Amino acid sequence: METKKIRNIALLGHSGSGKTTLAETMLYEAGAISRRGTIAEKNTVSDFTNIEKERGNSIFSSLMHLNWRGNRINIIDTPGLDDLIGEVISAMKVADTAVMVLNAKSGVEVGTEILWEYANDFKTPLLFVVNQLDHENANYEETLAQAKERFGNNVIPFQYPLNPGSGFNTIVDALRMTMYVFPPEGGKPEKKPIPDSEMDRAQAMHNAIVEAAAENDEALMEKFFEAGTLTEEELAQGLTKGLANHDIFPVFCASAEKNMGSGRIMGFLNDIAPSPADREDAELTDGSRLKCDASDPNTTIFVYKTMSEPGVGNLSYFKVMAGTLKSGQELYNVDTNTTERFSQIYIANGKQREPQNILHAGDLGVTVKLKNTHTNNTLNTKGVKRKVKPIDFPAPRHRAAVVAPASSDVEKLAKALHAIHEEDPTLIVEVSKELKQTLLHGQGKLHFDIVKYRANKVYNIDFAFERPKIPYRETITKVANEQYRHKKQTGGAGQFAEVHMRIEPYYEDMPDPSDLTVREKHIEELPWGGTLAFYWCIVGGTIDSRFTNAVKKGILQKMEEGPLTGSNCRDVRVCIYDGKMHSVDSNDMAFMTAASKAFNNAFLKAGPQLMEPIYELTILCDNEVMGDVMSDLNTRRAIITGMDTEGHYQKITANVPLKELYEYSSALQSITQGKAKFTRKFKEYAQVPHDIQEKLVQEHQAAHATT
């Protein structure tokens, strides 16, 4: 299919808005399928995986296509649940137009606004579809008003329902100045004149559309002023520009379930929505731009999604960014420095795939069994080093530890989690040496449930979740001096070392000690954060300088497993000012041991303080649930740092200990019935309250005593 004849559409919307049903209806109306499936019957084209059928929700983005009046419309149906935002963002990366589906009975929901922000970030042309107008509680006017209030006056209705509710069957189209009356079973409507009673409203809407179209082109604006209207061709030209520039966000009407309105939406996408060639050139990592041009002698493709399918293997979903891709062609992966052969290329309708000999720039396709290619990879004709700017996935908001069913399964579990991460970059797998746990970082509990399901069904490994440990830090609050003699005699050469040290809290630009002679100093940034300031202040050679590194190494070893709770130590200055050695029995091991013991004892005398990670939370919620959100934060030792408004939302910022954020995404969803969203980012380490510190120290000592 030629680039100009391709339309790449992402269906967006809050969970339950009807995206999957709309996609099914569009495929049916275009003749791509002979029978419409339903979510209840578990036979829709897009929700084809077992977990989607079990849950009755879209979990993964699904690629489909249909032919409409000589053009190909590629459709990516995306999940509406916030935990699955990675699937949405990857679809947005390759879509050229977004269709935001609104639920006429629920209006603009929190998920809608999250998706709107991403559409803005990608500068994706967008139109709204008010769906479920046949529901008895459908409220088109309220939904439209909310959309205008929250997304601006560029939200322009192109249609309105004449009789929303259980008897819905009529749409007034102000763009074409026609009324569509649908039969009871839906499908092709009867075109009728707009009744006199509706003419004033329809004409006013039409004039607003024409004026908005004219505003995007000076020549069109002049014609509009002269003639008072535009020709159909001029109107289409202006609307295409307005859509591309985010100056027009059209609103259409539908009942996807009753098959009413989808044909008109497809007609608009076909006639007005931009082709890949009409969009802004793709940004490359070197700052240059790549034109979507099939005549480019070099081929470039971008993999926006990978997935493992039982019995098939790895599926790689891609967009041809430039040139053409032919079956059997070899391309070079600039991310993994490997060559891949595209033995077969397909266009997809859910799990059904149709072989193709060639795909042109702008088209979306899928291939199988690429060995070293993953999401966000760019592949080119050999010798070409273009690299498409990768998808920027959101930071994790949820963490949990995973436990293999048996020690013999640890390696198998690690391989499964690594494979799932390659498919889903929003999942981060961390093997924490510090905490002695394997941690998952992701978007929420549902996200993790899906990971667990896939590990079991695809990779035949089960595992359990447990509460993750907290990466506490230990520091000191006052000065302490300590000395330690290590002496060991075992028949042959013995071990002897004596170390005298002073430890004190360290801060940046701290002056050198006035009562010690500093011979050497090292200010070292620690791998886990914070600083060790190590001062060698030996006068008179009581300890030979060749043992400097051994003493420092002994201190660092103890700092890796601190005296209080076994956590990493930070922000300490250690001054070695005296000691003793033996000409035969002193060696590196002896001084490492003496330094470690001296540091341990000094630390416990120096007002030891446990520090905990604090995260800055930003929560957006409806006013009606703000009190409940605040009450919950108070139970989590939160410090509220700000309250404001953002759009129609209440905005709360708070500093919350990481310990109190376990499964917070699920709790917030439950508290607000899904009417809230949040982000979090690490802020600082802060002192743990005394009572909690005492409890943690006792727990550590008890655990240590039993091992």
pLDDT digits (tens, 9 = 90+) for 482-532: 999 999 877 667 899 999 999 999 999 999 999 999 999 999 999 999 999
DSSP 563-590: TTTSPEE-SEEEEEEEEE--TTT--HHH
Q: Is 243 strand, coil or helix? A: helix
Cα 458-461-462 angle, rounded to 5 deg = 115
Please give the C-alpha separations between residue 100 and each of 104, 112, 206, in angstroms, as whole numbers: 12, 8, 22
CATH architecture of the domain 282-380 equals Beta Barrel (2.40)
Q: What tokens appear for 413 in the block?
A: 């579990």
**Out of 320-334, 481-495, 678-692, least confident range:** 481-495
Label residue 637 left, alpha or beta by phi (over 0 means left) and psi (-120 to 50 means alpha). left
Label residue 513 left, alpha or beta by phi (over 0 means left) and psi (-120 to 50 means alpha). beta
Please say whether the beta carbons of 15 and 79 come within 8 A: yes
b/e per residue, 333-359, with b = 16+ CB within 10 A? bbeeeeebebeebbbbbbeebeebeeb
- Top-level class of domain 474-606: alpha beta
Please give the C-alpha separations between residue 157 and each of 172, 197, 245, 662, in angstroms, as whole numbers: 11, 18, 17, 43
Q: Which residue has the higher pLDDT, 235 or 589?
A: 589
- According to CATH, where is 3.40.50.300 located in the chain? 3-278
- According to CATH, where is 3.30.70.870 located in the chain? 398-466
Quote the crossing angle between the two packed helices 218-227 and 232-244, to the nearest 10°.
140
Q: What tokens appear for 657 in the block?
A: 């200990």
317 pLDDT band, cuts 50/70/90, is very high
CA 455, 459, 460, 463 dihedral sign is negative
Please give the C-alpha separations between residue 625 and each of 167, 620, 660, 676, in angstroms, as whole numbers: 34, 10, 20, 9
CA 194, 196, 202, 203 dihedral sign is positive
Summary mean pLDDT of the chain: 93
Task: Supply the pTM of this predicted model.
Answer: 0.88
**DSSP secondary-structure letter at 407?**
G
**Out of 182-186, 231-235, 519-523, 552-556, least confident range:** 231-235
Q: Residues 108-135: what's their mean pLDDT?
A: 91
Q: Is 269 strand, coil or helix? A: helix
The tokens 């919620």 sit on which residue?
A: 621
Cα 496-500-504 angle, rounded to 5 deg = 145
Residue 656 has pLDDT above 90, yes or no: yes
User: What integer pLDDT is reported at residue 706 of this predicted model?
Assistant: 60
- According to CATH, where is 3.30.70.240 located in the chain? 610-692
Residue 235 has pLDDT above 90, yes or no: no
Q: Which amino acid is at 89?
A: I
- According to CATH, where is 3.30.230.10 located in the chain? 474-606
- Top-level class of domain 610-692: alpha beta
Residue 554 has pLDDT above 60, yes or no: yes
Please say whether the beta carbons of 163 and 170 come within 8 A: yes
User: What integer pLDDT is reported at residue 370 of this predicted model?
Assistant: 94
62 pLDDT band, cuts 50/70/90, is very high
How far, in Å, CA of 415 to CA of 601, rounded?
Answer: 42
Q: Which residue has the higher pLDDT, 368 or 489?
A: 368
CB atoms within 10 A of CB 34: 7
CATH architecture of the domain 398-466 equals 2-Layer Sandwich (3.30)
User: What integer pLDDT is reported at residue 491 of this predicted model?
Assistant: 66
Residue 707 has pLDDT above 70, yes or no: no
Contacts of 411 (CB under 8 A, 6+ apart): none
pLDDT tens profile 275-293: 999 999 999 999 999 999 9
Please say whether the beta carbons of 65 and 74 come within 8 A: yes
560 pLDDT band, cuts 50/70/90, is very high
Domain boundaries 3-278, corresponding CATH code: 3.40.50.300
pLDDT tens profile 615-628: 999 999 888 899 99
User: What integer pLDDT is reported at residue 422 of this predicted model?
Assistant: 87
Cα distance between the two ends of the chain: 68
How far, in Å, CA of 268 to CA of 69, rounded?
Answer: 12
312 pLDDT band, cuts 50/70/90, is confident
- According to CATH, where is 2.40.30.10 located in the chain? 282-380
How far, in Å, CA of 21 to CA of 257, rounded?
Answer: 6
Residue 320 has pLDDT above 60, yes or no: yes
Q: What tokens appear for 658 in the block?
A: 């990481």
How far, in Å, CA of 634 to CA of 418, rounded?
Answer: 37
Quote the crossing angle between the two packed helices 110-122 and 140-151, to the nearest 10°.
50
**Out of 134-138, 496-500, 541-545, 601-605, least confident range:** 541-545
Residue 237 has pLDDT above 90, yes or no: no
**Out of 112-116, 517-521, 689-693, least confident range:** 112-116
